C-alpha cells in the first residue's frame, strides 16, 4: 500500500504540472499581432517576464493620448510597435518602449476594429465602411476595400495564408486578398457581423447578430454549419483543440464541435456574454455583463472559479504565463491567478475600459475611454 501511495504521489507531481503547462508545439512569437493572436486562443504562451509572483509589481511604463478620442480597440504589438485605433477615426503606431508616436493615419469614421499586423502590413476596419491596409513602417495606405455603403466595420480582421477575413455591419463576412484588397468571397448573414473571425484548419468561425455562429470554408466561403443561440452573437469565437468557444447575448457561453457545430456544453451566466473567450491550460476564461469573469473547464463547462469585477466585464481576457488579464467598465484593469482567480494586481484608470488587454515582452497594453493608451511593466 505504501508503494502505491508513493507511486500516486510521483504521478501527481510529475504529470499534473505538465497538464497545466501543456502548450502547442509551435514556434514561439512573443508578440500579439491581432485580436485573437495567431493561435486564436488569446493566450500568449511565450510570455516569460510577467508571472503570478511578480505581476503585483506592475507600474505605469508610459501612457499616450492619441487624438482626444476614446480607445476601445485592443492594441496590436509587433516588431517593437504598438498599433491602436481611436473613436476619432485614426490609427496610431507607437514605439512600444516609449509610447512615442511613429505615425498616424486618419479615416472618415471611428475605428473600433482592432488592428491586425501581418507581413509588414496593418489591417483594420473603420466606421466609414472601409477595410484598410497600411504599410506598418510608414502608415502609407496600400489599399482600401469599401463594404456596404453606410455600414461600419467594427469587426477585427484575422489574417491567414494571405487572406484578410473580416465582418461588416452590412451583414457580410469578407475574405480579401491581403496584398491587393480584392474580394475573394463574401458570405451574407441576416444580421450585423461585429464578431471578429477566428481562422483554424481551413475554416472561418464567426458570430452574427442573427443569433448564429457560422463555420465557413476559408477558401470558398461556403457554409459548413451554423449553430443558433438564443440571441445576438457579437462575441468573437476562440478555437482550441477541435472546439469553438463563444458567448451570446442569451447569457450563455457555448462549446461547439468545430467540425459539426454540435453543442458540447453551455454555461449560463447572470447576464449577456459579449466578451470573447480566451483558452489556456484546459480552461475557458470569459467575462459577462453580470460583472464577473469566469473560468470554466474547457471539456465539461464546469465552473472552476469566478471573480467579481465591480462592473460589466465586457472586454476579452488575455492569458499569459499563469495570469489572466481583464478590464471592466468601472475603469479597472485586473491581473488574476489563472488557477484560482485570486486578484494579483489592479489598476484603477477612472474611465470605462472597453479595450481588451494585450500582453507581450513583459508589458501589458490597453486602451481606455479616457482617451489614453497605457503600457504597464515591472517597476
pLDDT of residue 18: 34
**Residue 4 confidence class, pLDDT cut points 50, 70, 90:** very low
In a domain, 36, yes or no: no
Put simply, whether the predicted model's pTM sits higher than 0.85 gets the answer yes
Query: Above 50 in pLDDT, residue 62?
Result: yes
pLDDT of residue 220: 98
Tell me the β-bridge partners of 93.
Answer: 83, 103
In a domain, 90, yes or no: yes
Residue-wise pLDDT tens digits, 102-112: 999 999 999 99
In a domain, 311, yes or no: yes
Q: Do 321 and 281 meet the contact criterion of CB atoms below 8 Å apart?
A: no
In a domain, 71, yes or no: yes
CATH number for the domain including 337? 2.130.10.10
Query: Above 90 in pLDDT, residue 17?
Result: no
pLDDT of residue 199: 98
pLDDT of residue 189: 98
pLDDT, the chain, mean: 92
Q: Average pLDDT of 117-146?
A: 98
Identify the residue whose cell numbers are 443569433: 211
Query: Above 50 in pLDDT, residue 257?
Result: yes
Contacts of 178 (CB under 8 A, 6+ apart): 118, 119, 121, 123, 133, 159, 162, 163, 164
In a domain, 176, yes or no: yes
Residue numbers of the domain that contains 307: 45-378
In a domain, 101, yes or no: yes
- What is the distance between the alpha carbons of residues 269 and 294, in angstroms, rounded to a whole number? 9
In a domain, 287, yes or no: yes
Grid cell, residue 162, equals: 494571405
Residue-wise pLDDT tens digits, 144-163: 999 998 899 999 999 999 99
Domain count, the chain: 1
**Residue 298 confidence class, pLDDT cut points 50, 70, 90:** very high
Percent of the chain with pLDDT over 90: 84
In a domain, 33, yes or no: no
Amino acid at each position: 500500500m505504501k508503494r502505491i501511495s508513493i507511486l500516486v504521489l510521483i504521478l501527481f507531481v510529475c504529470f499534473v504540472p505538465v497538464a497545466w503547462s501543456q502548450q502547442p508545439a509551435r514556434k514561439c512569437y512573443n508578440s500579439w499581432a491581432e485580436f485573437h493572436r495567431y493561435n486564436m486562443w488569446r493566450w500568449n504562451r511565450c510570455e516569460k517576464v510577467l508571472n503570478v509572483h511578480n505581476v503585483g509589481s506592475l507600474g505605469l511604463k508610459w501612457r499616450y493620448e492619441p487624438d482626444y478620442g476614446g480607445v476601445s480597440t485592443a492594441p496590436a504589438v509587433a516588431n517593437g510597435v504598438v498599433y491602436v485605433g481611436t473613436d476619432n477615426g485614426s490609427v496610431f503606431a507607437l514605439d512600444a518602449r516609449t509610447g512615442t508616436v511613429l505615425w498616424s493615419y486618419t479615416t472618415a469614421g471611428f475605428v473600433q476594429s482592432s488592428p491586425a499586423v501581418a507581413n509588414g502590413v496593418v489591417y483594420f476596419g473603420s466606421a466609414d465602411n472601409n477595410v484598410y491596409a497600411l504599410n506598418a513602417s510608414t502608415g502609407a495606405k496600400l489599399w482600401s476595400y469599401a463594404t456596404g455603403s453606410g455600414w461600419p466595420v467594427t469587426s477585427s480582421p484575422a489574417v491567414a495564408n494571405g487572406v484578410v477575413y473580416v465582418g461588416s455591419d452590412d451583414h457580410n463576412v469578407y475574405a480579401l486578398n491581403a496584398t491587393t484588397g480584392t474580394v475573394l468571397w463574401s458570405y451574407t448573414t441576416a444580421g450585423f457581423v461585429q464578431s471578429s473571425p477566428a481562422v483554424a484548419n481551413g475554416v472561418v468561425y464567426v458570430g452574427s447578430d442573427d443569433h448564429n455562429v457560422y463555420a465557413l470554408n476559408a477558401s470558398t466561403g461556403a457554409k459548413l454549419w451554423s449553430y443558433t443561440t438564443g440571441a445576438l452573437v457579437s462575441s468573437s469565437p476562440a478555437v482550441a483543440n477541435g472546439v469553438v468557444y463563444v458567448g451570446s447575448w442569451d447569457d450563455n457561453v457555448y462549446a461547439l464541435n468545430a467540425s459539426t457545430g454540435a453543442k458540447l456544453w453551455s454555461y449560463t451566466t447572470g447576464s449577456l456574454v459579449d466578451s470573447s473567450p480566451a483558452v489556456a491550460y484546459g480552461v475557458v476564461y470569459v467575462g459577462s455583463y453580470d460583472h464577473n469573469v469566469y473560468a470554466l473547464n474547457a471539456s465539461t463547462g464546469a465552473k472552476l472559479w469566478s471573480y467579481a469585477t465591480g462592473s460589466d466585464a465586457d472586454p476579452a481576457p488575455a492569458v499569459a504565463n499563469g495570469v489572466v488579464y481583464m478590464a471592466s467598465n468601472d475603469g479597472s484593469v485586473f491581473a488574476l491567478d489563472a488557477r484560482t482567480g485570486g486578484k494579483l494586481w489592479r489598476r484603477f484608470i477612472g474611465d470605462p475600459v472597453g479595450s481588451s488587454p494585450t500582453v507581450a515582452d513583459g508589458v501589458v497594453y490597453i486602451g481606455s475611454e479616457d482617451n489614453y493608451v497605457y503600457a504597464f511593466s515591472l517597476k
